[in-house]
Structure 1
Amino acid sequence: MAPLLHRDRELAVFREALDELRAGRPTVAAILGGNGMGKSSLLGAMTEMLPPRSLVLRARCHPSESHFAYGMVRQLFDPVMSAGERPRGRFDHAAADDDGAATQDLLISLFHMTRDLVAEQPVVIAIDDLSFADTPSLRWFSYIARRLDDLPVMMIATLPGSPPAGLGTDLAKLPYARFVQLRPFCATCTADFVAEALGAPPDVELAALCHTLSQGNPLVLRQLTSRMRQARISPGEPDPDQVLEVGTAALSATVLEWLHDHDPVAYELLTQLAVMGPDTDVTVAAILLSQGEPQIRQARRALAQAGLITAGPPVRFHNPLIRTAVLSRIDNQTRLGLHERGAALLARLGAPAAQTAEHLMLTDSDWGVPVLRRAATEAVAAREYDDATRYLRRALACSDDPATIHELTLQLGTVELRHDLDACVRHAETLVSTAPDPVRRARSLLNLASPALVASTVGVRPFVTVAHELAGMADPPREPLLRLTAQGVLSGYRAGLRRSVRMASSGVPDSAAKELAGALAAMVAASGRHPGTARRLAARACRERSRRDRPAGTGLVGAALAFGWTGRPEEALAVCDRILQDARTWDQPDLHALGLLLRADIGHRRGDSDDSLRDALDAREGAERIGARVLTTAARACGARALIRMGRTRDAAELVREMTMPADAHPLIKSLILEVQGLIAAAAGDHVTALSLFLDCGHRLSARGITNPACLPWRAHAAKAYNALGEHTAARTIAAEPAASPEHAPDARPAQAQILLTPAEQRVVELVRQGMSSMEVAERLCLSKRTIDTHLGRIYRKLGIRGRHQLAAALGP
């Protein structure tokens, strides 16, 4: 009785019809429902409930018999006539017209036959799949149904969705007509069905998944549970992926198989819609199918009645799994051909480039590069950078022309500047290697000249290379040289600097000169020697610009750093706000993440730990979104530094627990990471490790010429570590400025040097003076080579020397 779940209302209508039959009154009942909804099962259950004396005439229609005139009528009456019951009427096929249409005499004869049969007993005419009946039989059905007044006749027919137009109109006018619309199983009935089929109550999620897959269709549900039993899927602990796979196969074996056999045009339309996508215009599918509008309209109606697609517009699949099941029935070669035909038609019809591009992505055609580029441009305008990247990569794979490859690489780089910063770095290097001359390389790189790339030594390398090439030219273009030089200067490189400064000072103070001024301001401020000059250069970089100027990212970033390092945090904060405003206006997420990182650093300098932490976390989120590893690491370090100042050392350690130092990070960012790690170690009481980290921090900064204590106060941190270790003399020394050079005080150096060195440093010095290498000293003292190198670096700074060859002169005998 499982197929009759959720059928109480329909059976109640049938019981009312039975009462009418027993009272000698007629009934015409139409059971409506899509394929697999249980129409035949309900019809069979109804005939089993008939009174024992009833005469049941049965017929089952099939599309293959629809061209045989009166085929359905013969199924109904042949058993009666062969049994010897000869009613007064006569079934004479010769009475039909040549075209198969029933004549009035024939219809009257058939009516008399029916009336004679009900003289002694009620008659039930049960017809399955009436919509597949031949045309003369349908006319007979309508003719008889309209003339049943006061006759004990029940006519029951199953129909998909709705009756044919003429028949439906005739039946709707009859007072004794009843229409029973079968509905899908509800979620509760589906769960009961699955429980009975699997022999155990299903998991709640499994019941819900079965209902979603079957959409309450009994036929699909029966096939689904049967396959689940074969796959031995446990109803208590199911595997959702396995159930989805089984559900796809069940849909293919039931609804789609039936559609393939009974309505080829509708099946082809469904296949075309599945390939082209759910939002495809049905007209496009009709053109691809080479079918007329009436056929497509009928096929679309059949698909909607079967519950496969919505009536639309737009046309969509009722269940996304239907599309999966349809596509699984198509071999790869056929699918590629359908996608290529669809893409070509959409291109000719002027469809949106993205729609055409989605089909080109699934083919091996090479004619669609312009379409893919146009689709990428539209995707960028909609900020759909993932799609733009996909289209451009596919276009690159299809291209062989070097000039086109260069243009596509440039376009892809500008997209990934907003989407995947590390990939943008790789494309910048490709542009340098594929452009035919330095000027072309420079103009291409200008589109990628973001200060966010400066955070990586690999990212700044293409700009430094091309700036050096331009500086060597007799007449280099002004704007590319100044901008690319500024990009390198911001990272500490001086390629093309002298030539650029001369060009900037002799020309008008345009936006390129302002960018160079900002980068120079940061370089001067990092040295700590001329703070006034740094501030003047920073102010020049912040001057108002015209609307035609591109956002001065490099110049403003350099100005913000310069103001922050020269004791002007308020002015630095104002510049950061300008950077963030430019980033929002010009849609530059890379500049926005960098601006938040700078503002977090300024907030830390101003003592606003809460604001600094918030900006650092926002910067980390933005950097992660664009795939900027170095900026993400720097933002986490800034956030941890703010947490440490707030006394939340444990939270800071958790924030940087799995953080690794990028090998290509800017030395300033590496030093920031070392500073944070040292502060966490010092808070945990490990002052030896903290001291080593602080000294390493100072070494990296000094190697790049960053000697301004305002950049990172590593000396103050190291002095605290020395004091915690009881080495107060070393603390005072490291906190002070570097000592005078040896030639200024030759007599005092050896004695003073001996006092400055700690016992541990003196042991290292003794072994080094014996000619041992750093590795041999490390083995002798049971330390790591890195620790020995750190000791040596500290010794050299205390003595004001550059290497071990000067130890003897600095220490004396």
Structure 2
Amino acid sequence: MVRSRSADSDLGSALVGRGDVVGELNRFARQARSGRACSAVVTGPTGSGKSALLHAFLMGDGCRHATVLQGTCEEGASSESFAGIRALLGPIAPGAPLDGATRYALPALTPGAPAGEPPHAPAVQHTFHGLHRFAVDMLSRRPLVLALDDIHHCDEISLRWLDFLLRRSDDLPLLVVLTRQTEAAALTRRVPAHHALTDLAAQRRTTTLRLRPLTEADVAEIARGFFPAPAAPVFVTRARAATGGNPRLLDRLLRELRAEGAGSGVGSADRIAETGGRVLARWARELLDRRPPWVEQVARAVAVLGERGTDHVGALAAVPADVVEDALTVLREAGLLAPGGRHLADDAVRAAVLTPLDAQVLSGLRTRAALLLSDAGRPAEEVAHHLLQLPSAPEPWMAGVLLEAAACAEQRGAPETAARYLYRVLEADPDSVEVRVRLARTLAETDPPEAIGLLREALGPSVDVRTRARIAAQFGTTGLAAREISVALGILEDVLDALDAELGPDPQPADRELRTHVESVLLIVGSHGRSTFAATRKRAAAMTLPEGDTPAQCQKLAAMAVLTALDGQPPEPAVKRALRASSCPQLPLKSLSLINSALVLSLADRTEDALRALDRVLCHGRENSAVWTYALALSTRAVLRHGLGALPDALADARTAVDISGAERWAESMVLPRLALAGILVDRGEAASAERLLTSTEPTWREQSVWTYHRYLMAHGRARHALGDAEGALGLFRECGRSLEEAEVRHAAYLPWWVEAACVLAELGRAEEAQEPAAHGTRLARQWGTPRVLGLAALARGVATPGADGVELLGEAVRELSASPARVEHARAELVLGKVLLANGDRPAAREHLRAAAGLAQRCGALALGQDARAALVAAGGRMRKMTASPLDLLTSMERKVASLAAGGAGNRAIAQSLYVTVRTVEMHLTSVYRKLGIAERAQLAEVLRHSGVRGARAPRSAPRPGGQG
């Protein structure tokens, strides 16, 4: 059907930014009035304002002295011969005299002519001549403007006649103005009128005028008609991006925002994405409902396949490749495809395309897409993405794809994605022990309680003993994160008994390795519980020491090393086992073997070896998203660095570990990061913050483990002492010692509560009472024999011994600790000795040791100790710059180097070359520096360093000057 119409009422703003097109049409009108026939085709996407522009032109001065005939072709008009002609001439034909040659025009002008086969060629030619005479008669009286809207819906014969008319009207005052959707080129290619339309547009008398998208200035002008205040620049930018500069879409977006009560300010800009998504989705549905079926078929295929599957759209939509391209053109011109891409603009459009499909049809489409991609050899994860959107995965090939996708996800360090694939496989095969165990292993780092539940279900009575042993070992390591220590030990013990009964006295190598693996896990788990540590050590003492040639043997060696070290024996056997375990290239890094080895090595002052072991764990954690292991290793490294006196590095590690663990489901059960951070905060002079952190930890979790409960008591005791509660601190230190003795943990350097207790008692004037903890610690220190513990023992005896003998012991403590890596403890010994010398009246010697204490503490970042040392130095008559909690103290040594070079003008690449690191490492350090210093950009760095008394290093020769890269 064809009808006349005016511009849509909601497009009153469409003329903004269209003055150049209207001006061109007026120029053509003047040209036609001068006797030179011409035509113009105005093209633009749906909603770009073609109809409104045409209406404005026809009502303007350019057509004031002309006869204007206007019509519109609607969908379906292409099937009715002469439909476009009747739209133009039909309204005046009944009153016009049709005689002579014009009578041949009658078939074209008769309203309601039936649709069907086109008339024969001779009849058409007669009609064309009659219509031509009809038009010439009108042109003889005044200029004629023929305006036909939406010619992409027009029938072929009407278009042929317009071409016929133009070719025979060179010297007549005729202007033909046509409008056409840009995307219609692809649509009309599928109908007979396509060639007629192409011929008409190619005429020398025809000019094509393309409507461009609205500019930001246009959007701002249109927005003024909707809101009282001028639109904010960000509002304008986002509104144009959301609508692609399409006037109709913009009109709808602004109307909806106004109806929601939004304005055009910065705050309302955030609502554009959501509201624009809804508007675009409705727009998509309207367009698809008016397009041929093959456009929607392609749109559905694009929606299902997504961005990565665009090469297979034709196969899924079951249409030829050229049809796919035409459909994509239609979708692109309508703004439904992402700019420059072949996928849908956003999720709202995707939903609008797929919502009309019922669940069964959509599932069938997704299944076909997955099979299509699988057959084409696409990556398993790409195929699995489609399988996850199905209600189930019943077909055997689907399980294979999902399992392969899970392996790929695990390999790239995406355990949660792998778990989603495995859950779908488990739904299809709920009795599969293998899938259940694999899923539990995937969840071990991200959701330990869920993993434990899966492993419990897998430990059914029908499972053979070897499989049961592997599951039990996995249950044990996962049980540490889930705090299921006692349950895990019971399962492991039962499995070991069953293995012994099954394997006999001389098992095969594979069975022997399996048994060793179960034994190693039992030792690891048992060494964590306060109530099980002693029994586990006795069990380990009765075991045969492994060679360390296999992963299971190395894991067992590491566990035995810890148990040996904490028995108070000389360090050599434990260190030898730890080094052997940590050097194994096949070591399963997800285990606690490296962390156990690092603990032993740090107690033996083998700090470089300990840090290397922890770095291996951290590298594995980063690459595999092993979050629980990563947080644990990072906390352990924070404790180690704290003991070394590298407080900025330790603080960075501890805070990162707290942040990481705090975002996980198991946050409450991971206590060590908060304990490590609290201990560091005490030395930073933030005891109140440390105590708040400690009291917020869940008692159930901190008290179960031998590693967390005693560290909690030590950190809390030191915090209480720093806050002035000496008696409270003493009680906590003594409770730590009592509990360690009860658990049979006997090591001088592991949480030396006895030093803290002796120092507090000495401060309280109870030096004689301090001799007991000092003697206890000295006995343990002489067994272990490293400079650190010997120095601490001398410190404890020194504060408990009055007079010259005490001074001599404190001097011994300074000498021993200066030879150890324990810089904070060295500073502490210098401080205690300096205070004693000052009390004895030896001010020069006191100043020497107090100045040394203050300098050491400053370099370590131990602000509380440093301020104490400075105050004592001033009291002794010395001078020293006042110590402050400078933010620079928070920077690690590498961060200081990077910051200094950057402040001096070096670019990131030059810094990386001078420090022999990667550019990515430099970027990471600079990000950390900005966060710690509270700045946002490189330009602020030099100012902060200058105020802190630090000069930027001169840029390396190869470095660009400020304003260059970086």
TM-score of Structure 1 vs Structure 2, range by shorter chain: 0.7 to 0.9
Q: Is residue 2:143 matched to residue 1:122? A: yes
| Distance (whole Å) between structure 2 residues aligned to residue 62 and residue 462 of structure 1 | 75
Q: CA deviation at 1:728?
A: 4.5
1:485–1:496 Cα contact (<8 Å) kept: no
Deviation at 1:291, TM superposition (A): 4.1
Alpha-carbon separation, structure 2, partners of 1:460 and 1:154: 93
Which residue of the other structure, out of 484, 487, 491, is the alignment partner of 2:521? 487
Confirm whether residue 388 of structure 1 aligns to residue 409 of structure 2: no
What whole-Å deviation, never above 9, does each CA across 1:78-122 have from its counterpart, x for those lacking one? 233322254744445779996446544443443333333212211
Asked if 1:613 is matched to 2:651, the reply is yes
SS state at 1:125 partner:
strand
In 1, distance between residues paired with 2:586 and 2:612? Answer: 22
The correspondence for 2:640, drawn from 598, 602, 619, is: 602
Q: Over residues 518-555 of structure 1, what are the superposed CA-to-partner deviations in whole Å (9 max), with x where a residue is unaligned?
A: 2111112112134343234334434x54x666459544
Describe the SS at the equivalent of 1:685: coil
* Map of 2:671 onto structure 1: 633
2:225 to 176, 186, 196: 196
Percentage of matched positions with identical amino acids: 26
How far did residue 501 of structure 1 move?
7.0
Give the whole-Å Cα distance in 1 for the aligned partners of 2:577 and 2:90.
106
Distance (Å, rounded) in 1 between the aligned partners of 2:455 and 2:353 = 43
> CA–CA distance in 2 between the matches of 1:552 and 1:280?
36
1:302 is matched with: 330
**Residue 282 of structure 1: CA displacement?**
6.0
Structure 1, 338-347 or 379-388: larger mean CA deviation: 338-347
Matched to 2:34, the amino acid is A
Return 559-568 or 577-586, whichever deviates more. Answer: 577-586
Are 2:353 and 1:326 equivalent residues in the alignment?
yes
Q: Secondary structure, in 3 states, of the residue corresponding to 1:196?
A: coil
Structure 2 counterpart of 1:690: 729
Q: Does the 8 Å contact 2:82/2:157 carry over to 1?
A: yes
Partner of 1:158: 179
Residue of structure 2 in register with 1:78 after alignment: 90
**CA contact under 8 A between 1:630 and 1:662: conserved in structure 2?**
no
Closer, same or farther in 2 for the Cα pair 1:302/1:84, shift >3 Å? same
Contact preservation (8 Å) 1:445, 1:463: no
Task: Indicate the residue corresponding to 2:289 in structure 1.
Answer: 260
Match of 2:917 in 1: none
| Aligned pairs (5 A) from 1:164-183 | 166-167=195-196, 169-171=198-200, 173-183=202-212
The residue aligned with 1:37 is 48
Change (3 A) 1:598 1:262: closer
Tell me whether 1:407 sits opposite 2:407 in the alignment.
no
Matched, 1:353 2:376: no
Other-structure match for 1:217: 246
Q: Distance in 1 between matches of 2:456 and 2:173?
A: 90
* Counterpart for residue 139 of structure 1: 160
Amino acid paired to 2:326? Q
Distance verdict in 2 for CA 1:183–1:651, change over 3 Å: farther
Count the aligned residue pairs: 732
What code does the residue aligned with 2:672 have? A
Instruction: Output the CA distance in 1 between the equivalents of 2:767 and 2:411.
Output: 61
What is the identity, as a one-letter code, of the residue corresponding to 2:51? S
Show the counterpart of 2:404: 374
**Alignment-derived partner of residue 683 in structure 2:** 645
Q: Cα deviations across residues 590-638 of structure 1 (Å, max 9, x unaligned)?
A: 5554444433333333333334334434545665677663785323332
Q: Residue 717 of structure 1 aligns with which residue?
A: 756
Aligned residue number for residue 436 of structure 1: 463
Aligned-partner Cα distance in 2 for 1:315–1:735? 76
Instruction: Measure how far apart 1:21 and its partner are.
Output: 2.3
SS at match of 1:474: helix
Counterparts in 2 of 1:65 and 1:460: CA distance versus 1, 3 Å: farther
Contact 2:369/2:386 (CA < 8 Å) preserved in 1? yes
Q: How does 1:305-316 map to 2 (within 5 A)?
A: 305-309=333-337, 315-316=342-343
C-alpha deviation, 1:143, in angstroms: 2.7
**Aligned pair in 2 of structure 1 residues 459, 219: CA closer, same or farther (>3 Å)?**
farther
Question: Which letter does structure 2 place at the counterpart of 1:273?
Answer: V
- 1:25 Cα deviation after fit: 1.8
Contact 1:504 1:513 in 2 (8 A): no
Of 690-699 and 626-635, deviating more is: 626-635
The answer on whether the counterparts of 1:416 and 1:424 sit within 8 Å (CA) in structure 2 is yes
Contact 1:641 1:676 in 2 (8 A): yes
Residue of structure 1 equivalent to 2:862: none
Query: In 2, are the aligned partners of 1:454 and 1:666 still within 8 Å (CA)?
Result: no
Q: Distance in 2 between matches of 1:258 and 1:711?
A: 73
Q: Secondary structure of the residue that 1:197 maps to in structure 2?
A: coil
Q: Name the amino acid aligned to 1:677.
A: H
Distance 1:662 1:203 in 2: 54
TM-score, structure 1 normalization:
0.79
Q: Does 1:470 align with 2:504?
A: no
Distance 1:731 1:247 in 2: 74
Q: 1:704 to 1:275 in 2, by over 3 A?
A: same
What aligned pairs does 1:760-779 form with structure 2 within 5 A after superposition? none
2:141 is paired with a residue whose SS is: coil
Provide the C-alpha distance between the structure 1 equivalents of 2:719 and 2:607, rounded to a whole number of angstroms.
Answer: 26
The residue that corresponds to 1:22 in the other structure is 33
Q: Kindly tell me: are residues 595 and 52 of structure 1, through their superposed partners in 2, closer, same or farther at Cα, counting changes over 3 Å?
A: closer
**Maintained 8 Å contact 1:421/1:626:** no
Letter in 1 for 2:243: S
711 and 630 in structure 1: CA distance in 2 versus 1, 3 angstrom threshold: farther
- Kept in 2, the 8 Å contact 1:425–1:459? The answer is no
- The gaps in structure 2 that reach 5 residues or longer are 1-11, 109-114, 189-193, 504-510, 780-966
Report the aligned-residue RMSD.
3.9
Provide Cα deviations, 1:393-428, integer angstroms capped at 9, x if missing partner. Answer: 23323333x2x2x22222223323454456545544
Distance (Å, rounded) in 1 between the aligned partners of 2:201 and 2:563: 90
**Counterpart of 1:52?**
64
Q: Is the CA contact 2:138–2:144 (under 8 Å) kept in the aligned structure 1?
A: yes
TM-score by length of 2: 0.68
Aligned 8 A contact 1:57 1:124 in 2: yes
The farther-off stretch of 407-416 and 594-603 is 594-603
Structure-to-structure mapping, 1:271-290, within 5 angstroms = 271-281=300-310, 283-284=312-313, 286-290=314-318
**Separation in 2, partners of 1:463, 1:188:** 72
Partners of 2:146 and 2:542 lie apart in 1 by: 104
CA contact (8 A) 2:668 2:697 kept: no
Q: Which amino acid aligns with 2:210?
A: Q
**What SS does structure 1 have at the residue aligned with 2:245?**
coil
Q: Is the 8 A contact 1:213 1:319 kept in 2?
A: no
1:535 aligns with 2:575: yes
Instruction: Please tell me whether residue 526 in structure 1 is matched to residue 566 in structure 2.
Output: yes
C-alpha contact (below 8 Å) 1:27/1:177 kept by paired residues? yes
Distance 1:549 1:707 in 2: 28
| C-alpha contact (below 8 Å) 1:372/1:395 kept by paired residues | yes
